């Protein structure tokens, strides 16, 4: 019963994603300042297409080698736009608008890069949304420990 249709691929650049879809993603990232968590881990100068495939973004290696794209100051600049937002505009949208048009041709962020960064930052609200609604893929696996881990009811003897 799973539809075959997916709206985007992992290689689709974020600037090619419909404004309405970016807006839905942005409202998710507005919760608890998640956009800030995402922005603060974006690596500098990444080969976006090579990193788009599942597992293609080895975060520790990339961030360790080339460092981070945005400084605390640049993140504060986005924060500062909060008061100037018009109704219906979201601060995460400002952040994504900055990110999606940044960098050279091969550095432009893609849906695949976005998804892997969201998982790395444990922003599962947005990661689940991107996997299901952008890519028609199953939700990403959760770690077995920490705040993102699933909690389930223990099976009692009568269940067995």
CB of 17 to other proteins, least distance (A): 20
Based on the shown chain and the rule CB under 8 A, indicate whether residue 157 belongs to the binding site for other proteins.
Answer: no
Ranges within 23-82 binding other proteins (CB under 8 A):
31-32, 34
Q: Which is closer to other proteins, CB of 84 or CB of 150?
A: 150
Q: How far apart are CA 40 and CA 69, in angstroms?
A: 8
Chain Cα centroid distance, residue 113: 8
Residues 28, 31, 36, 41, CA torsion sign: negative
Of 124, 130, 134, 135, which lies in the binding site for other proteins, with binding defined by CB under 8 A? 124
Length of the chain: 160
43, β-bridge pairs: 68
Q: How far apart are CA 104 and CA 99, in angstroms?
A: 12
Q: How many CA atoms lie within 13 Å of 160's alpha carbon, on the beta-carbon side?
A: 4
Based on the shown chain and the rule CB under 8 A, indicate whether residue 145 belongs to the binding site for other proteins.
Answer: yes
For residue 74, what are the CA distances in angstroms to 47, 52, 64, 79? 22, 25, 20, 9
Based on the shown chain and the rule CB under 8 A, indicate whether residue 86 belongs to the binding site for other proteins.
Answer: no
CB of 119 to other proteins, least distance (A): 12
Q: How far apart are CA 26 and CA 92, in angstroms?
A: 5
Based on the shown chain and the rule CB under 8 A, indicate whether residue 146 belongs to the binding site for other proteins.
Answer: yes
CB of 160 to other proteins, least distance (A): 12
Based on the shown chain and the rule CB under 8 A, indicate whether residue 135 belongs to the binding site for other proteins.
Answer: no
Of 11, 53, 75, 148, which lies in the binding site for other proteins, with binding defined by CB under 8 A? 148
Q: Which is closer to other proteins, CB of 31 or CB of 66?
A: 31
Based on the shown chain and the rule CB under 8 A, indicate whether residue 123 belongs to the binding site for other proteins.
Answer: yes
Interface contacts to other proteins, rule CB under 8 A: 31-32, 34, 122-125, 127-128, 145-153, 155
């Amino acid at each position: 019963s799973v539809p075959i249709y997916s709206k985007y691929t992992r290689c689709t650049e974020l600037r090619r994603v419909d404004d309405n879809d970016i807006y839905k993603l942005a409202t998710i990232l507005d919760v608890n300042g998640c956009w800030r968590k995402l922005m603060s881990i974006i690596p500098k100068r990444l080969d976006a297409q090579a990193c788009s495939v599942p597992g293609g973004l080895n975060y520790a290696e990339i961030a360790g080698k080339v460092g981070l794209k945005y400084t605390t100051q640049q993140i504060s600049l986005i924060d500062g736009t909060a008061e100037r937002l018009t109704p219906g505009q979201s601060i995460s949208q400002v952040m994504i608008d900055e990110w999606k048009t940044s960098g050279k041709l091969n550095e432009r962020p893609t849906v695949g890069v976005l998804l892997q960064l969201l998982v790395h930052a444990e922003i599962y609200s947005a990661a689940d949304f991107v996997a299901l609604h952008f890519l028609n893929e199953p939700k990403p696996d959760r770690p077995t420990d920490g705040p993102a881990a699933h909690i389930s009811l223990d099976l009692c003897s009568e269940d067995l």
